[in-house]
Amino acid sequence: MLKLYNTLTKQKEEFEPMDKENNLVKIYSCGLTVYNYAHIGNMRTYIFMDTLRRILKYNGYKLKHVMNITDVGHLTSDADEGEDKMAKSAREQHKSVYEIAKMYTEAYQKDFKKLHIEDTEYLVKATDHIKEMEEYVKEIIKNGYAYETSKGVYFDTSKFKDYGRMLSNNNLDELKAGARVDVDNEKRNPQDFALWIKAPQEHIMKWDSFMGLCYPGWHIECSAMSRKYLGDVFDIHTGGVDHIPIHHENEIAQSIGATGKVPAKTWMHVEFLLINNGKMSKSLKNVYTISDLEKEGIEPLAFRYFTFSAHYRTKLNFTWDAIKSAQVALNRLREATKQQKNGTEKADPKKIKEYEERFLAAINDDINMPLAIAVLWDVARENVKSKDYYDLIMKFEKVTDLDLDREEKEEILEYSEEVQKILDERKLARENKDFTKSDVLRDKLKELGYIVIDSKDGQKLKKV
């Protein structure tokens, strides 16, 4: 039986879909705000989302999965402050907001493909659903949960006694004390949030509506689009832990205001990816993308493998040493898989069944991927080299999808004597365990247009 941790109830629960007759699971996942390149912290969340999909399908369920693209309305602060992130990025890059959205949507989709993240059944853009958001806001107003100021329409949090307590157990008095009150002095309560914003004349993205030219608040899009595609209540809602205290609390409040219902039965949240045990920060120059990893000779699937080393509800610490170790481990796992593929012995059916049960128990225990990967390694390392074990690994690949059956194609490169000399120096440095010098020489090779990859067969070069 599949068990999932529910942030709403603070416990693991046996999962059953609402639509048992069709064995259908309805999921909504908060997608990216496409104003910049996605970083590896974002990608941890979406690898989790993909793994959840695969585990549900492994258990025989059908999926109806919606992910949004935020291309309007997300202000530079989650608390209704600043300007729209899309407009800010467009101004800084001298492009239109639609050019910005297209460019960064295409960029993250390329990263998804590299990471083997499957397409969801529905990928929906906020700008295609302005009318649905407007109608949703009207319903909230009609039900007495919202009010108008000179700046827009706000959700009245005083009308929802459990506001802030559903997912994050925030104390309302603490929220009031910590909220900023200088944003709009017409707000009834400091923690009230914008549903519909009256657009100043200079604002780029705006639409004609029941209140004139306006644009939506960030939170309203998820409520309106999830209802359109999945109904008032659906099975699972996913996102990062950063969504819990504001965005997802506001989603629940909006849904109560419009329909009287909490929109999802199960809420699942992915913990932060740390960088050297700290936060990612532009000022620290440690906001890394998948392309940044590739420039260092790390393939995207090594990052996928790396995320499986910790449970999704625990923080995961990224270091360059750790990701390089993940690449080495993935290479070795592929080699072990190849040995099983070429094996001629017969595996014990009882052992096959035992491994299948252990793998299923791991993934069905709230997506315990570290344990699932341990089972995968046990199969790959089996002393009996058997095609039966290879077939089992390929079955597990329906969940892991690490390209374990990939045949490496040797890329024949011609390079200068200077490059060969650096390679020889680096080989000697590594043999002497002088890794500082080794890294300096690696950087020299990169300046010359080559990425060096360390394998059990020695150093290999690839073009940058």
**Residue pLDDT, tens place only, 4-16:** 999 999 999 999 9
Whether residue 82 contacts residue 197, with contact meaning beta carbons closer than 8 Å, is answered with no
The pLDDT-based confidence of 205 (bands split at 50, 70, 90) is confident
The residues near 216 (Cβ < 8 Å, ≥ 6 apart) are: 72, 73, 126, 130, 133, 134, 137, 195, 196, 197
Please check whether the domain covering 3-270 is classified as CATH 3.40.50.620: yes
The residue among 178, 200, 199 whose CA lies nearest residue 189 is 178
pLDDT attached to residue 366: 98
- CATH topology for 294-309+317-400 is Four Helix Bundle (Hemerythrin (Met), subunit A) (1.20.120)
Number of H helices, E strands in the chain: 15, 16
pLDDT tens digits for range 66-85: 999 998 866 555 555 566 77
Whether residue 295 contacts residue 451, with contact meaning beta carbons closer than 8 Å, is answered with yes
Say if residue 202's pLDDT is above 90.
Answer: no
**Beta-sheet pairing, 264-270 with 234-240:** parallel
pLDDT tens digits for range 94-131: 888 888 889 999 999 999 999 999 999 999 999 999 99
Residue with the bigger pLDDT between 274 and 174: it is: 274
Say if residue 181's pLDDT is above 50.
Answer: no
**For the chain, what are the domain ranges?**
3-270, 294-309+317-400, 417-463
Whether residue 369 contacts residue 270, with contact meaning beta carbons closer than 8 Å, is answered with no
Whether residue 13 contacts residue 266, with contact meaning beta carbons closer than 8 Å, is answered with yes
Q: What residue has token string 């532009």?
A: 282
